[in-house]
Structures are given as structure tokens and as C-alpha cells.
Structure 1
Amino acid sequence: MGTEKSATQDAIPQPIPKEQTNIASEGKPLDEKKLKKFYIGSIDQGTTSTRFIIFDGIGHPVAQHQIEFSQIYPHSGWHEHDPKEILTSVEQCIEKATQAFIYQGHDISDIKAIGITNQRETTLVWDTNTGEPLYHAVAWPDTRTKGIVRELKAKEGADELQKICGLPLSTYPSSVKLLWLLKHVDTVRKAYEEGRLTFGTVDTWLLYQLNGKDRKYFVTDATNASRTMFMNLNTLQYDDTLLKFFDLDRNKVALPKIVPSSSPDEFGALAYGPLKGIRIAGCLGDQSAALVGQQGFTPGCAKNTYGTGCFLLYNVGEKPVASTHGLLATVAYDFGGQRKPVYALEGSIAVAGSGVQFLMNNMGFITQSHKISELAATVEDNGGCVFVTAFSGLFAPYWIDDAKGTIFGITQFTERGHIARATLEATCFQTKAILDAMELDSGHKLSALAVDGGMSNSNLCMQTQANLIGIPVDRPAMRETTALGAAIAAGFAVDIWKDFDELKEINQKDRMIFEPKITKEESAKMFKKWGKAVEMCRGWLDTDEANGDF
């Protein structure tokens, strides 16, 4: 391996302040003096960590606490969480952040509401009578259900599912995870047969527990329900055709009531802890929350969140758009009242920040994840390396379940910096593929892409993204947009904000713009090589591996 070179300031791109560009927001001016007196708490329960952030009325975080929790990998492709540890992490984050809030001189009574946002598709089951978990939570990236998915795809009616629920059959949604639990876990199967099985996603589990196990608040919001494959996208209710396809009897499994994402009454209130009695007024799946936090309230707005995975949502308005190019149709948000639900097209990338963690934890390339840009900047380009980060297969728009992570183009010239660049570029290439699919489905090309999440902190990654997609990348200064989205949903329910025009001005200060700096021909050449690598990584798994056997 060659000698590692030092990164230079010129090697890491510098973005342009938004006020120096022609990209501008058009919302009503905020009454900052008034809004700074109101506070909203936000529970952000993610894939690898939980945080609780207290925002003021202009969207500025004033106190927060974050806790990482255990990632459980019993077998290759399996990914689980301890439901009780998730709950404990939420309780501890609320306690620590509240202590910091009080230390600053604020009163708990100043917190008007709490919102919840959460990792989606992650599947939990518990005993209806006791509220005790019957198994670990099966996390959204888990791929143990490959065999079940293969069987379901061959079943009569499989081709009609996506028209009803917006999702294709894959290892991704909650439905197949629940079927695996019923098939392989005796305690779950027994609870189902005895009619005491309760199913929920992370939001439902937390709302039920935080309300003191009050069954009145056994609920989920439409954004989370739209990730299960049990909900009809048009009616926002459970669909008998879908449940019948999955052979589920509603008399044997309790499904949470589906409610709007913003409501002063449907989510209850904290039953214990330092914020006891404060209403929970908002609930959104994490990617919908990020779209709300980026003020994506107008059809044509899009955001990309670069977290553990990478998720791109495109607002399509008040009617769902069925994708014919490998994307998902989903609920963007439902703010209730007389308002209609808003829908989105979504593209999901399984590996984004987790690819950086792989280089750090498994390969020892870096000691801290934010050092990835410095390592990548030690080389001028990827040196011919293309890294297809298909650790859990490839998601949108490819949907290749039998792929594995593969690096192409390694030579004796290859350095760690080249592989670091190729890792960042893998997310950017997949984002371009998704944007191209969204353009085909919607008939419109984006003018800019709003970004957030951990990898968006990398100037090099964001510049690469702008270069590949050929449009500006718009990054906020305050990048906790997922938590902010949940806070907005809660604050909207209790009238801290009253209209969407007002919300459009939140978190608009000090945004930065990355403009494309290579030609369309250069971008197309890079993307062509990526496409070749994707095709070459197909069919890597043997039949028994693809079926989930071990």
C-alpha cells in the first residue's frame, strides 16, 4: 500500500452560503421574540442511538442528550435490538436533557409538547396481557426473511400488493419480519394462536410504554403504518386484501390504531419521569420527519438523509404516485384536521454511514467516523475503485437481494484513501440512481436537493453528490432535521405554529450550497462504471444463502 499523503485545504471543497445563491425560501417572517419562549421536546429513536432534543419555537436546539444502544447480530444478515434497552435509552435521554434544560434556567412548564420520530419497519411483538416483549426487535436492515420473500413473490396476488400499499415485496417492510417471527419463534406463535399477540413498530412500542401501558394509546401514525405493507395508501387504514395475502387473522394479532402524524389528543402524555403529564402531540417515521424538518411541504421538494442508511423522499402532493422505476410510494406526513395526507416517492439505500463505520470498526482505516473525508482527500480520485456497498443487498431502485458488498478495480496502486473515496461515492451513485428514477416517475427534474444526516457533514461527500447529480446540494447549519420534524408536528398540533408558510422559515439561516463542478460528460462516465459494477455483483449468493438458510 502506498504512503498516505496529508489532506490539504484545497482538497476538501468549501460550500457557498445560501444567501449568496439564487436558492431562497419564501415563508412568512418568524416572530422570533415570541417563539423563543415556547419549547418542544423531540424523541429521536434511531437505528444505533436515541436522543432527546428540546427545541425553541424557531427550531433551535437548546438542550439535548444522546445514548448509543446495543446492536445484536446473532447470525450473518440478522440485526436485532432489545426493546427494553430502546425504552430505557429514551427514558435516560429525557432525564439528562431535561436536567440540562433546567440548569439553563428554564422551567419544565415552558415545554408545550413532545414529538416522537423513530426508525421505521423495525418490528416488535409483545404479550397483550403483560406488555412484555416476546422477542428482540427485528431491525429494518435485517435480511433473514429472504426465503419468505422469495416464497411470497411466487404467491398468487403478489403483483397487486404494491398498487395497494406502495411497497414491493422485499426484506425491508415489517410484514415479512412478523411472518418470520410467527414461523420460527414458538412463544410468538403461541401468543398468536391464543389471541394475545401484539404487533407494533418502534413508535407504537414507545407510545404504549411511555403512556404507562395504557391501551387507549396503542396507536401508530400513518407514516409508520405505511411501512408495514398492511395499510392501504389511499384509505390510510388496514386493508383486508393485504392481511389475507399474509395469512394474518386480526382476531389473533392486535394491530395499532392508525392516526394522523400531528394531533393534540391521539398520542397521550408521558405517564412518568421529569416531564410527566406533558402531551405527546406528534409522531413521524424518521424519514418523513426529516422531510418535514427540511420544510418539504411543496410538491417537488426533496430531501436526502445520510444516516446509517440513506433515504431520499420526494413530495408528490395529495395523491400517491405508483412508481414504475423501483421506488416506494409512502405517506410523507398527515397533519390531520381538514388537511389531506401528503404522499412521497422514496428511495432507500441500505448502507451509507454504516459503510464508514465498516471502514472504521472492521478495517481500522480511521479511528473516528468524521475522519473519512480527510482520508479520502489524501488522493485525487478513487484510483479506479468502485465499492458496491451491498452488505444487505441493494435497495432502491435496484432491489437486488442476492448481492454482497464488492470492491472492483483494486490494483497494487490502491491506497486506503481510494477505498475511502469509493465508500463515500457508493452512497452518491445510488442517490443519483434514485433521483433519475424519481424524475422518470414524476416527470419533473429537481432544481436542488436538501440534505441532512451524519454523512452530510462531509464537504467532500456533498461536493461529490452535487457533481454526480448535476444540481445544487442544500445543507442546513442545524442538521438535526429528523428530530426537528417531530418537534414541528407536535408544535403544529398545539398551535405554536399555525400555518405551513410560517414553518418554511424555520432552520433557514446559514445554509450552505454545493454547486456542481464537473461536466455532465464526466459525471455520466463515472455513473456508467458504477452501473457496470452493480450488474457484476448480482447473483453472488448461493440458493441456500439467498433463502436465508444458515
Structure 2
Amino acid sequence: MTGPVLAVDQGTSGTKALVLCPVRGVIGSASAAVRPRYLPGGRVEVDPAELLRSVVDAGRAALAAAGEPVVAVGLANQGETVLAWDPADGEPLTDAIVWQDRRAEPLCTELGAYAASLREWTGLPLDPYFAAPKMAWIRRNLTRRGVVTTSDVWLVHRLTGAFVTDAATAGRTQLLDLDTVGWSDRALDVFDLTGERLPEIVDADTHVGTTTAFGPPLPLTGLLVDQQAALLAQHVTEPGTAKCTYGTGAFLLAQTGPLPRRSATGLVGCVAWRLAGRTSYCLDGQVYTAASAVRWLTELGVISGAEDIDVVGGGAPDAGGVTFVPALAGLAAPWWRGDVRGSVTGLGLDTTAGHLVRALCDGIAAQVAELADAVAADLGTPLAALRVDGGLTRSALLMQAQADLLGIPVEVSALPDATALGVGAVARLGLDASLTVPEALPAWKPSAVYEPRADAGQVAERRARFRTAVSALLGDGAA
């Protein structure tokens, strides 16, 4: 049995680091804030140096909290955040363009004729959310120098000198051939990125190099994109099982097994992970604003923070006829309309803060329910349950709304920080090839299970109201 590992989850608004012991569990933890800049025109940027500093600071602090050495490091990443940088010295040439950024929208519109082909080749719809449109935008508008990659490639290079990305993160670029799990020359040509120096695609459980960033030399043996790491940590390893992570956005992923699936419902077909040379695939649906919508309500003074959701929302028996479509950064799957703005309708003089909070919970839950319906349609069978993690799962109000609108049990992970736990397991696999995936993962158990309680008629009415509001935003008469 190997010793403790350091698992680092580099996220949108911060980096979380855990020291994980295979026997005692989490023996040290720390976090470091990251402050993206939300700019006009849907632009979202962050200083790359801040990303690297947060990784090093959180990792060192977690090790100090644990007070004992570790044997390896695993790193999870944001997925679709990109930057240009100089491979000679590792210095950034641009700010990092965050996954939420919409500046490549006109470029995607220009390439619209290739949308169907790109979906067939890569499994992804043509949308600025993914990395390739941002990479192309950087090349057109900022610099032709150096390399342009997802943020994980730069972080790993700064930590170890390697120039690699894992297969699942490569799958978030829209430049990966979904069938061969290699770079797609056809997709590169569409985005005018032919000839770019691209990182080597490696298995998630690969010894990619050694880092001294956290103190003594340590092997970096685990790499995985954030949502897929959470999928693994939740033991969603069999086809037809699914999880949803409620963070800055909400992300529902369903395991589909060893064969790639192209969604017919607007979901993303992508690589879940490649471990020991074997690829697993998943279907993926996104809600761009979950905790970020809660932060928006907080900044307006409606609540004082996420911890207030149940207190304030509990003061109202329901949403009071208010419908909230939290498309504050556009609508992702299954609509893919980044140009759409959010809406709050049904307001009256009797509307209270509690009604608004309840309406937001319903809005987030309704969008996740639309994703679950899309998964069921693609797989030909409904989900039996949904495993969930992330900060907003602490809200009983949101989790009950989710169970009610889904009509299935919602199982809340007892282990917070699922992404870090997942990449920690991958690092363990990269260190010890004799381990099986179940052996490397922490035991999964729910801290709470929310059963559907709402009347079926009420649920149908709430979901119909949400769809009507979405239809009004889309302007096409149908959601």
C-alpha cells in the first residue's frame, strides 16, 4: 500500500489541496483563492500567475497541515481555460481566458457551416465554452508567438517541464478525435490551428515528471479534468449511472462505457478518462451558472451568502409564482445559446426575498432536470438516481427541489471535494500499476438521500413554467 498523496484541484474561483492517506482519509487540507475578472462583453480572464501561485500555496499549506510526507501529486484542472505561453521559459504571453468567456462567439458563428462535422469528429457542439474557439481567437487577436494550450498544460510545464495533457482534458478542446483519442487534423484545420505545437496526450495515470514546487522532489502521477475527476470519485463507473457537481456552474455527467456516444439531444459526448490505456466515455451537460447565480443574489443583497439559501428560502412555502431562469452567462446544454440572458418573471408587490431564493433553487434544479431528461433520451433508459457533490449540496432546499423535479432520489456525497479525491485516486493509480480503480478510490457513501416529495401535478407545472420562460428567452416558441 502506498503512502499519502497530495491532490490539487485548480478551479475557477480557487484551488483546493488535500493530503489523502489510503487508510485515514483526508489528513490535511488547504485552499487558495483565485479571482477571475468578469469584464463587459462576456469576457472572463484570470492572471496565469495567480493560477500557479494558488496551486503552490494550497499544496504547501495542505502538506504543512498534514505534517507528514507524501509520495506523489495529482492535479485536476478547469478544462476549457486557455492561454498562450512561451515554451522556452514558461512565461505567459496572454492572460488566461476562462471557460465561461464568450468572446469567441462571432468566430463560432463564422464557422457555423462546420458545426455538424465538428460534433461528429469531436463529440462537442460548436460553442465558445470549449477551448479551440478561444485558442483560435488568441491566435487571431492577441499573439502568434509561443504555444496556445489549456491551462493544465502550462501548469504541468511549470511544475515539471513536461508538455502533456490527459485524454479527458484534450477532449474539452474540440480538437480531439473522439474515436481515436488523438488530435484531429480536420478539426485543427477548421480552427486554423494546423501546425500548432500541441501537447502529448497521456493517460490520466501517467508519471509525467517530478516537481519540487511543494518542497522535496515528488512525482506527478495523476492528471484529470475536474468534472471527470468528480465522476470517478463518486464511483460513477458503470454505464447509465450519473453525477452532478454544483460549483460555479452545475455539471451533470453520465457514464457510457468503452464506446464513444454522440448525443442526439444537445449533450456533449466526451472522454471520461483513459486509465492504463483503456478509454471510458461519458455524456456531459452543463449549467453555466449555479453558485455564480447565488453570488449574484448575494451581491444584490438578497442573501448574505450561500449559507443563507435555506434560512431565507425557508421563509416562503414556494416560489410564489416567480420563475427564475439563471442564464446569467447564457444557456448551455441542451440549448447552446450563449447569447441568451437570464430572466426573472412573475414578480409582484408581494414577492419576497424567500420567493426569489426558492425560484433560483427551482431554476437550477429545472435546468439539471432538463439535462437528466436528455441523458435518458440518449441512453434509452431513465436514470435511477443522481449522485451529487459540490458546495451547493449543503442546501437542503436546493437538493429537495432537485429530487422533486427529477422524480428520483438525489444522493449527496458524504465526502466533500470530490474532484480532489478523484485526481488523488488517479495519482495513486499512476504510482502503483497493481492497484485497481476501486482499490484506489475512497469508499463512497451518501451523507443524505433526498427522495421526491412533491405532487406530480405540481412538478409538471413547475417544469412547464420553466420551459415557457426558456422559450421566451430563446424567441423560437419552443424550449
TM-score by length of 1: 0.84
Change (3 A) 1:137 1:169: same
Shift of 1:271: 3.1
Answering whether residue 120 of structure 2 is matched by residue 163 of structure 1, we say yes
Residue 68 (str. 1) matches residue 19 (str. 2): no
Within the candidate set 311, 318, 335, 2:275 is matched to 335
Partners of 1:60 and 1:182 in 2: CA distance: 44
- Aligned residue number for residue 305 of structure 1: 245
Looking at structure 1, the residues matched to 373 and 24 of structure 2 have their Cα atoms a distance apart, in angstroms, of 32
Q: How many Å apart are 1:499 and its aligned residue?
A: 1.8
CA offsets, 1:249-275, max 9 Å, x none? 22xx32111111112x2x21213432x
Distance 1:496 1:421 in 2: 48
CA positional deviation for 1:397: 0.8
**Partners of 2:336 and 2:8 in 1: how far apart?**
31
Q: Which amino acid aligns with 1:343?
A: Y
1:89 aligns with 2:54: yes
Task: Say if 1:403 and 1:539, in contact at 8 Å, map to a contact too.
Answer: no
The RMSD of aligned alpha carbons is 1.6
Taking the aligned partners of 2:276 and 2:289, their CA distance within structure 1 comes to: 33
Q: 2:139: which partner in 1?
A: 182
Structure-2 residue corresponding to 1:324: 264
Contact (CA 8 Å) 1:57, 1:496: kept in 2 or not? Answer: no
Which residue matches 2:204?
A: 261
1:166 and 1:59 mapped to 2: Cα distance?
Answer: 40
1:446 Cα offset (Å): 1.1
In the alignment, what sits opposite 1:244?
Answer: 189
Q: How far 1:509 sits from its partner (Å)?
A: 4.3
- Residue 539 of structure 1 and its aligned partner are, at CA, apart by 5.1
Q: Tell me the residue number matched to 2:326.
A: 389
Answer whether contact 1:59 1:484 (CA < 8 A) is retained. no
Corresponding residue number in structure 1 for 2:42: 77
Is the counterpart of residue 515 in structure 1 residue 451 in structure 2? yes
**Distance between the aligned counterparts of 2:26 and 2:87, measured in 1?**
37
1:206-225 equivalence runs, <5 A = 206-211=155-160, 214=161, 217-225=162-170
Unpaired runs of at least 5, structure 2: none
1:122 has 2:45 as partner: no
What is the match of residue 360 of structure 1? 298
**Alpha-carbon distance in 1 for matches of 2:360, 2:24:** 32
Matched position secondary structure for 2:218 = coil
Structure 1 residue identity aligned to 2:414: A
Deviation (angstroms), 1:146: 1.4
* Structure 2 residue identity aligned to 1:246: F
Contact 1:295 1:503 in 2 (8 A): no
Aligned equivalents of 1:374, 1:497: Cα separation in 2: 49
Q: Which amino acid letter does the alignment assign opposite residue 456 of structure 2? A: K
Q: Name the SS for the 2:40 alignment partner.
A: coil
Inter-partner Cα distance in structure 1 for 2:373 and 2:102? 26
d(CA) in 1 for partners of 2:405, 2:189: 43
Residues 420 and 58 of structure 1: CA distance in aligned 2, closer, same or farther (over 3 Å): farther
Q: In the alignment, which residue of structure 1 is the partner of 2:284?
A: 346
Partner amino acid for 2:129? Y
1:226 correspondence with 2:171: yes
Q: Name 2:371's counterpart in structure 1.
A: 434
1:20 is matched with none
For residue 351 of structure 2, give the secondary structure of its aligned residue in structure 1: coil
CA deviation map 1:353-412 (0-9, x unaligned): 101000112x01222321112111110000111111111210001112221011011111
The equivalent of 2:470 in structure 1 is 534
Q: 1:445 to 1:510 in 2, by over 3 A?
A: closer
Match of 1:287 in 2: 227
Q: Which amino acid aligns with 1:82?
A: D
2:94 to 135, 150, 155: 135
In the TM superposition, residue 59 of structure 1 has moved relative to its aligned partner by 7.4
Q: Distance in 2 between matches of 1:139 and 1:41?
A: 25
Q: Deviation at 1:58?
A: 4.6
Return the offset for 1:503.
Answer: 4.8
In structure 1, stretches of 5+ residues that fail to align are: 1-34, 192-196, 541-550
1:416 deviates by 0.8
Residue from 163, 184, 202 that aligns with 2:151 = 202
For residues 430 and 466 of structure 1, the distance between their equivalents in structure 2, rounded to whole angstroms, comes to 13
Residue 93 of structure 1: how far off its partner (Å): 1.0
CA offsets, 1:2-21, max 9 Å, x none?
Answer: xxxxxxxxxxxxxxxxxxxx
1:144, 1:345 → 2: CA distance?
26
State the Cα distance separating 1:220 from its structure 2 match: 0.2
Structure 2 residue identity aligned to 1:75? P
Question: Could you tell me how far apart the structure 2 residues matched to 1:158 and 1:527 are?
Answer: 30
SS of corresponding position for 2:266? coil
Aligned length, in residue pairs: 476
Give the match's secondary structure for 1:430. Answer: helix
Please list every run of at least 4 consecutive aligned residues from structure 1 whose deviation after the TM superposition is greater than 6 angstroms: none
1:427-447 CA-partner distances (Å, limit 9, x unpaired): 100110000011010111111
Range that drifts further, 400-409 or 81-90: 400-409
2:307 — aligned with what? 370
The answer on whether the counterparts of 1:63 and 1:97 sit within 8 Å (CA) in structure 2 is yes
- Which of 151, 172, 194 is residue 110 of structure 2 equivalent to? 151
SS in 2 for 1:423: helix
Query: Residues 496 and 182 (structure 1 numbering): CA distance in 2 closer, same or farther, change over 3 Å?
Result: closer
- Measured in 1, the distance between the counterparts of 2:415 and 2:22 equals 14
Structure ID, larger Rg: 1
**Letter aligned with residue 396 of structure 2:** N
Are the counterparts in 1 of residues 429 and 437 from structure 2 also a CA contact under 8 Å? no
SS in 2 for 1:254: coil
Q: What's the secondary structure of 1:235's corresponding residue?
A: coil
Preserved CA contact (<8 Å) 1:120 1:202: yes
* Deviations 1:26-66, CA, capped at 9 Å, x for gaps: xxxxxxxxx6x731111100000012111111572111111
Q: CA deviation at 1:313?
A: 0.5
Shift in CA distance, 59/520, structure 1 to aligned 2, threshold 3 Å: farther
- Work out the percentage of aligned pairs sharing the same amino acid: 35
Q: Distance in 2 between matches of 1:347 and 1:379?
A: 30
- Alpha-carbon distance in structure 2 between the residues aligned to 1:417 and 1:247: 50
Residues of 2 paired with 1:422 and 1:59: CA distance?
41
Offset at residue 413 of structure 1 (A): 1.2
SS in 2 for 1:359: helix
Q: Secondary structure at the match of 1:329?
A: strand
Find the aligned partners of 2:434 and 2:384 in 1 and give their Cα distance.
28
Task: Spell out, residue by residue over 1:427-475, the C-alpha distance to the aligned partner (whole angstroms, 9 max, x if none).
Answer: 1001100000110101111111000001111111111100110110011
**Residues 121 and 174, structure 1, Cα contact 8 Å, conserved in 2:** yes
Q: Which residue of 2 aligns with 1:270?
A: 211
Q: Secondary structure at the match of 1:258?
A: strand
